[in-house]
Chains A and B, each alone.
Chain A
Amino acid sequence: MLLELKNVSKAFSGVQVLDDINIGIKKGEVHVLLGENGAGKSTIIKIITGAYKMDSGEIKWKDRHLQVNKPSDAIEVGIGTIYQELNLIPHLSIMENIFLGHEKKKRRKFSLLDRPAMNKEAKRLMERLGQNVNPNELVKNLGVGQQQLVEIAKALSLNCELIIMDEPTSSLSEREAEQLLQTIERLKQQGMTIIYISHRLEEIKRISDRITVLRDGKKIRTVDTDKTTIDEMISLMVGRSLENKFPKVEFEKGKEVLSVKNLKITPDSPGINFSAYQGEILGIAGLVGAGRTELARAIFGADPVHSGEIIVLGKKHRIRNPLDAIKAGLAFITENRKEEGLFLDQPLVFNKTIARLNKVKKNGLINTQKQKEIANNYVKDLSVRPNNIHLFARYLSGGNQQKVVIAKWLFTDAQVFIFDEPTRGIDVGAKVEVYRLMNQLVENGAGVIVISSELPEILGISDRILVMNEGQITADLDRSEANQEVIMKAATGG
């Protein structure tokens, strides 16, 4: 065994998050940790890397006791990690980020940095990942996908024996994800050991050797990938089988809820036109950087636009800021929940009601009792775990955080919901719950627009699909005429 966890336990404020976990990682394998949101996957990773201290248990590295007190300890023995949250420094360059903490120096420990050598190496590493970039470009100027690749280059630059990746593909487009999976396969051939976390079952099936399933902080079982099926993975994970990953419900197509006319973000960008209707889920597909988020933000008034008309339920609205948009009946669930969605150091009840405090007012003041009731109901409906409305959002797992953001917008009584990558980083079970929610919204007469880079998802849930490429809509496909090839063709402008 390269790495072994023995009887590892960890509790946060009295809540047992990991309970007596035993896992062995063999040299040269791709080992997947699988489990629902909040199962404890990221916590295991953070214990291995020294970001958290375990309460009890032991870590063995090459059959010897390993003491990790701080992240640099793990890095030193040869464990490189890509955390679930991006950990880059925005105002430093790609090169500096890649070599952060293990810079190349001209001579000894205290000498000046060897920038030319690092530049060359950074460029080589990024090329290995299919990116031809200037290593001096600042990371803040990169898109999320490229940033993720910088993280991977950073791990590779460590020359480590074990790379841990916590949901690396969740922010990548299909094409970038494909590139990453190929990189992983190549690394595996070169004898690299990888611990991999993902909620995308297909890719797990494709690249992994063994899978350890966790549920509620307990290890359920470790299985060999080639001896299991996706359905079995799901049932191990959620404790029951899941009949339908995409619970599509067909509704009657109703009247137009949102119409975007000749929307131009800059004076010389092409005008965008499209409509969304009651009774349908409108999917928007495209590669990373296709301009989908940009479009959504423009509609929602989050960024300034040059010109264009936005009509909600037949009424023209002038939307200059998000408040105008909310008043017009729009809701926008952004793709970065931490930066743009959550109040991390506020309890769930605060997060839940902040966008529409008028609804919990009594005699002009906020009625905290009512606020709590409402929050409790939603926590139950969306099965947020743990179901404690006083818990700070910071302490929820990624998936549960996403549920809280969605809950915030459900509370605003919007007519049109724009979801930007709504299932990024959430588990299969929770995904189904989100899809059900969307169905419910459609049933209630709301318009639902879903931006997603996961093609199966777009195909599985949409009634109609728009495809974007370079800021333009290149296809408007009905559910019946859409498939992966057609979409990819429109998305790449081919």
Chain B
Amino acid sequence: SSESETSNGKGTDGNSLKIGVVLMSLNSEYWKLNMAGAKKAAEDLGVDIEILGPSEETLYEEQVKMVEDLVSSKINGLVVAASLPEAMSPALQNAHSANIPVVLVDANVNEFDERVTFIGTENYNAAFKGGEFISDQLDNGDKVLIVRGQMGAKVHDERTKGFQDALKDKKIKFTVQDAQSDRVKAVNIVENVLTAEPDIKAVFATSDEMALGSFKGLENKGGTKIPLIGFDGTPDGLQAVTEGKMVANIAQDPYQMGYLGVESAYKAIKGEVVKKRIDSGSEIYTKENVDERIKMINEYLNK
């Protein structure tokens, strides 16, 4: 541990600093935006950065290994987005005892009090906003289809729950189907559910990948009039809002999350004070406000 202390000391000349980032996966637009933010922050701050993430969000143990591996290679700070937060806490504890400051993004790990900060929007709250948004367009007892990601994956649980809870008063009859974040499965599910229940009044998909699939399903069933809400605010998802395919897209700000994550870790290394909780914000994008957001994202991604 004396070793990490010296490297902490050396940290004053920003060049030799290295920050490790472990995300839930690197294979989606959402996480790519997060990565872009993190990279930008590293560039601005002049630190080295190493970003890892398993090939699928379900592989939570793989994430634990990545944290362990980063801890044993020479990093000065750590930014983690844990897919199964509780599972991550032993590894984070490890990092902490190796004197590595840990910043949590996107998902909080409640058991890990030693975190520098948690940066994120609660998925539950964001989805709740989505529910509120559509609430006006629904009558009591209407049917709503939720196309969700892998059962047991925490983000999708929270999004599903948040959306449902927002509509609690309306006694909505929910049909929840798991499309495992797969676009084709979402198409199939929407086609099938609409065949059995043509009176579906709204569709909510817990990720843009599935929302885009859901739109195809609606299209195939002639149901493009049915309001569709996506989640993530990925470029394609936002594009679908401008084209009127989705009425709304619930977006967190992954870019901001990534940026703030690295920045906070940097501050912690330097011994600066960081707020214990940072809200990276979430927003519902509709036709009215989406264009601005698209422009911004394109800037983020250097398009």
A–B contact at 8 Å CB threshold (below):
no
What is the interface of chain A, defined by CB distance below 8 A to chain B? Answer: none
